[in-house]
Amino acid sequence: MAEFKEISPNASAVAKLGNWFDNRFPTAGVMYRDHMSEYYAPKNFNFWYFFGSLAMLVLVIQIVTGIFLVMHYKPDAALAFGSVEYIMRDVPWGWLIRYMHSTGASAFFVVVYLHMYRGLIYGSYRKPRELVWIFGCAIFLVLMAEAFMGYLLPWGQMSYWGAQVIVNLFSAIPFVGPDLALLIRGDYVVSDATLNRFFSFHVIAVPLVLLGLVAAHILALHDVGSNNPDGVEIKGPNAPKDANGKPLDGIPFHPYYTVHDIFGVGVFLMVFSAIIFFAPELGGYFLEYNNFIPADSLKTPLHIAPVWYFTPFYSMLRAITSEMAGALALIVLVAVFFASRGKPVVVKAVLWAVGIAVAIMLGLLPAAWNLLGMSFGSISRAMPWLGGIDAKFWGVVVMGGAVIILFFLPWLDKSPVKSIRYRPSWNKWLYGIFVVNFIVLAYLGTQPPSPGGERISQLGTLFYFGFFLLMPWWSRKGEFKTPPDRITFAAH
């Protein structure tokens, strides 16, 4: 048992209360010092570093508003839509709580996307922060699951049919797909059983996992220290320190960055409030108009699309047609050709065997036959396995792979410097094109399918994966500037 600290009898009442609390819960003081007052962060943070704290703020908003919504929501297919209308019309300030929660869902993805982009341009995933990045990507993946399950709960037309389409995608997985889709739905169609499952996961299971990952993300970050726009380490063995071992290029997180973040919070809350009070639907992007119509299993909406933060990945899913799968099979064979050059015979044989097998599964043979103007029907009837796996399955693989590939970013980037400030100038254009491509894919995912949109989304999908898969090659090219020994900082 730790010894009690004494305090002067003449101390103020506040000081006495603080001493009393510290003697009985010293761990709180240790955590405050380790993660706030004595946690040294680089002194050159810019506006890009607002979004981590904003993500924490939105998480709190979602939890608090969710608690109040659950008090009145009924997870029953016959009552769910009516209970949401009751919250909106009859519960005092219920409309505000509901709009805060729905707007908060979109705001969460806005700040998380910007937070991840900051990590991308400043190399925050590089050594020694690989685990911080992996925890962050896991948070993103769990957040998508949380948002998808919450999207079903209003039980409107788009909630119902969006869930129907997305869950049915799992049935495309060979062998286990139909059983997996049945397990997720709890029935043969999206029904009351599905609503109850999604409600329990959305309210209890997934938030617990999310909170655990957020805690792990922050603890891992504070163990290795924050990155900065220069990508220069302030806590390494060669970093300049004062006589007490404190980084000369760092400042305590509290009070300096708490005040810094309060400014960002103020700006965010003004924008957040403006949307809630003046445009909570935001033209149908935050709340779709079809979702104000009760779910009807007998009436399919003209166009089914997920909410905007899923649409880049939904666009990639739709881009994978049989024709596209055949093109991917050809790309696989070309990649095997270059990868096998100069390799031992055994390695070369294994690479070609795997490459040809993958190409056949992608549907190389039907694509080649069609290109020659010949019918593949008779062959596929005799040997169906030569026809490859349905393109719908590869669409699911691509959609999932678009998120999973982010986990490997620390090992894909071979650049000798972390920050984009010291990379070749054309890197900024490349990252800019990546952002534009992602936004275009998001827009196309909200639109009905069209031949032109299909081609653009296919090119966009190839660029998205090419950006990451070719990163070990292009990230080393060009002339790099020499990073400074100490961080650059101008007072403002």
Residue 76 three-state SS: coil
Q: Is 217 assigned a ligand-binding role in the annotation?
A: yes
Q: Is 72 assigned a ligand-binding role in the annotation?
A: no
Which CA distances in Å does 394 have to 314, 390, 406, 427?
13, 7, 18, 30
CB-CB contact of 304 with 374 (8 Å): no
CB-CB contact of 394 with 320 (8 Å): yes
| Distance from the first to the final alpha carbon of the chain | 47
Q: Three-class SS string for 6-43?
A: CCCCCCCHHHHHHHHHHHHCHHHHHHHHHHHHCCEEEC
Q: Is 101 assigned a ligand-binding role in the annotation?
A: yes
CA-based nearest residue to 36, from 252, 260, 215: 252
Residue 442 tokens read as 């998001």
CA distance linking residue 314 with residue 398, whole number of Å? 10
Residue 460's Cβ-count burial label (10 Å; 0-12, 13-18, 19+) is: buried
CB-CB contact of 180 with 398 (8 Å): no
Residue set of the binding site: 101, 115, 202, 217, 222
Residue set of the binding site for heme b: 101, 115, 202, 217
Residue set of the binding site for a ubiquinone: 222
